[in-house]
C-alpha cells in the first residue's frame, strides 16, 4: 500500500523560514549560488540556529504520538541538494521529526505544494508566497527580522490571525479603502448576520481545529483573532466563525491600535497579517508573516 499524507496537517516550509540562514543568504545575494553552496558545505557540521517559524514547527510536531501521525512537515526550498545536506543535519541536531524535503536549486518550489496537499506554506521568498496564494494555498512570507517566540507555553501552539483578507475575504476591507470608516461600519452592521466569504487562511484554521479535536495528552492549540475592526463591525466577524463551527480562544477588536503590544502579551508562535505595517509592528515582539492578499496588496 502506497504511503500518503491523508488526514495529516501538512506544513511546507523553506529552510530560511525554519532556520536562521540570513548570513548565508547575504553571500548568495552578493555573490552567486556556487559561493553559497560552498559556504553551506563548509558549515555542514555547524548546526543552523532556529529561525522565525522554528517554535511553531517544533510545537506542531509534538502533536505526533506513538502510532498517531497527525502533523507532517516538509522542507520545500530553493536550496540546492548539497545545501539541503546541512538543512537536514540541522533538523537532526534540533531533534525535529522531519524526514521529507524538496530542493529545487532556484526553481519555483511552490509547484510541489499540490502533490503535498499542503495546509500551510511558509517561506522567506515573497514571490513564492504570492504564487502559492494564487494556487489556493494558505501562505505567508516570514519576516526574517522578527523576534523569536518565547517558550512560556511549551504545551500550547499559539497562533494569531488577522481577520479581513486573512481568515475572511477582503470584501469589507474594499469598502473601507474606497469609502472610509463610516461606510465600512454601516456595511458591516447591515450585513451582520451574513457570514463573510472565506479568506485564504480559513483552510488552515479549519485544519488546526480538526487537529485540536483529535486531541493529545501533551499539546493543545490556542488561537486568537487580532483585528483592526471594532464594534459594531465585530459582530459579523464573530458570527462568521460561528457559521464555520470554529471557535477562537481570544478575539481582539483593536479599532486601529497598533497590534504589536497586544501580540506581545498573547505570545503567539506565529502571527499572520495582510498589511505590512501590522506585520512590522508585530515583528518587534513575535514571529510574524505577511499574507500577500486582498486590496491592501494590490
Q: Which range among 88-92, 220-224, 227-231, 269-273 shows the weakest confidence by mean pLDDT?
A: 227-231
Secondary structure, 3-state, the chain: CCCCCCCCEEEEECHHHHEECHHHHHHHHHCCHHHHHHHHHHCCCCCCEECCCHHHHHHHHCCCECCECCEEEEEEECCCHHHHHHHHHHHHHCCCCCCEEEECCCCCHHHHHHHHCCCEEEECCHHHHHHHHHCCCCEEEECCCCCCCCCCCCCEEEEEECCECCCECCHHHHHHHHHCHHHHHHHHHHCCCCCCCECCCHHHHHHHHHHHHHCCCCCEEEEEEEECCCCCCHHHHHHHHHHCCCCCCEEEECCCCCCHHHHHHHCCCEEEECCHHHHHHHHCCCCEEECCCCHHHC
Residue 44's pLDDT is: 86
From the list 20, 32, 162, 249, the catalytic residue is: 162
Question: Which of the four pLDDT bands, split at 50, 70 and 90, describes residue 282?
Answer: very high
Quote the percentage of the chain above a pLDDT of 70: 98
The 10s digit of each residue's pLDDT in 174-190 is 888 888 888 888 888 88
Kindly state the average pLDDT of the residues 73-92: 93
Kindly state the average pLDDT of the residues 30-54: 86
Classify strands 49-50 and 19-20 as parallel, antiparallel or unpaired: antiparallel
What CA–CA distance (Å, rounded) separates 24 from 153? 31
The 10s digit of each residue's pLDDT in 194-224 is 999 999 999 999 999 999 987 777 899 999 9
Quote the percentage of the chain above a pLDDT of 90: 70
Residue 128's pLDDT is: 97
Name which residue leads in pLDDT, 218 or 142: 142
pTM, two decimals, is 0.93
Residue 169's pLDDT is: 92
Look over the chain and give the mean of its residue pLDDT values, rounded to a whole number: 92
Tell the CATH topology of 156-297: Rossmann fold (3.40.50)
- What number of residues does the chain have? 298
Tell the CATH topology of 9-142: Rossmann fold (3.40.50)
Residue 235's pLDDT is: 94
Residue 1's pLDDT is: 45
| 9-142 and 156-297 agree in CATH topology | yes
Residue 185's pLDDT is: 84
**Residue 32 annotated as catalytic:** no
The 10s digit of each residue's pLDDT in 52-68 is 999 999 999 999 986 78
Widest distance between CA atoms in the chain: 62
- For the chain, give every domain's residue range: 9-142, 156-297
The 10s digit of each residue's pLDDT in 155-167 is 999 999 999 999 9
Residue 2's pLDDT is: 60
Amino acid at each position: 500500500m502506497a504511503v500518503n499524507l491523508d488526514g495529516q496537517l501538512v506544513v511546507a516550509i523553506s529552510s530560511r523560514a525554519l532556520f536562521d540562514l540570513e548570513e548565508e543568504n547575504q553571500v548568495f545575494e552578493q555573490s552567486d549560488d556556487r559561493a553559497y553552496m560552498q559556504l553551506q558545505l563548509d558549515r555542514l557540521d555547524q548546526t543552523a540556529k532556529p529561525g522565525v517559524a522554528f517554535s511553531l514547527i517544533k510545537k506542531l510536531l509534538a502533536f505526533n504520538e506513538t502510532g498517531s501521525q497527525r502533523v507532517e512537515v516538509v522542507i520545500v526550498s530553493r536550496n540546492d541538494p548539497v545545501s539541503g545536506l546541512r538543512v537536514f543535519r540541522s533538523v537532526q541536531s534540533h531533534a525535529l521529526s522531519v524526514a521529507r524535503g524538496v530542493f529545487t536549486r532556484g526553481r519555483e518550489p511552490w509547484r510541489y505544494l499540490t502533490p503535498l496537499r499542503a495546509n500551510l506554506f511558509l517561506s522567506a521568498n515573497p514571490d513564492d508566497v504570492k504564487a502559492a496564494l494564487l494556487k489556493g494555498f494558505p501562505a505567508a512570507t516570514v519576516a526574517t527580522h522578527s523576534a523569536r517566540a518565547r517558550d512560556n507555553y511549551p504545551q500550547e501552539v499559539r497562533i494569531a490571525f488577522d481577520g479581513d483578507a486573512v481568515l475572511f475575504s477582503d470584501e469589507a476591507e474594499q469598502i473601507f479603502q474606497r469609502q472610509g470608516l463610516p461606510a465600512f461600519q454601516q456595511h458591516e452592521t447591515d450585513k451582520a448576520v451574513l457570514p463573510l466569504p472565506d479568506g485564504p487562511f480559513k483552510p488552515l484554521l479549519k485544519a488546526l481545529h480538526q487537529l485540536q479535536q483529535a486531541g493529545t495528552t501533551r499539546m493543545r492549540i490556542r488561537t486568537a483573532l487580532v483585528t483592526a475592526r471594532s464594534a459594531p463591525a465585530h459582530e459579523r466577524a464573530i458570527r462568521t466563525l460561528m457559521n464555520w463551527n470554529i471557535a477562537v480562544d481570544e478575539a481582539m477588536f483593536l479599532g486601529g491600535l497598533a497590534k504589536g503590544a497586544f501580540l506581545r502579551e498573547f505570545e503567539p508562535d506565529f502571527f499572520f497579517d495582510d498589511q505590512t505595517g501590522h506585520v512590522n509592528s508585530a515583528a518587534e515582539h513575535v514571529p510574524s508573516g505577511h499574507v500577500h492578499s486582498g486590496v491592501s496588496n494590490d
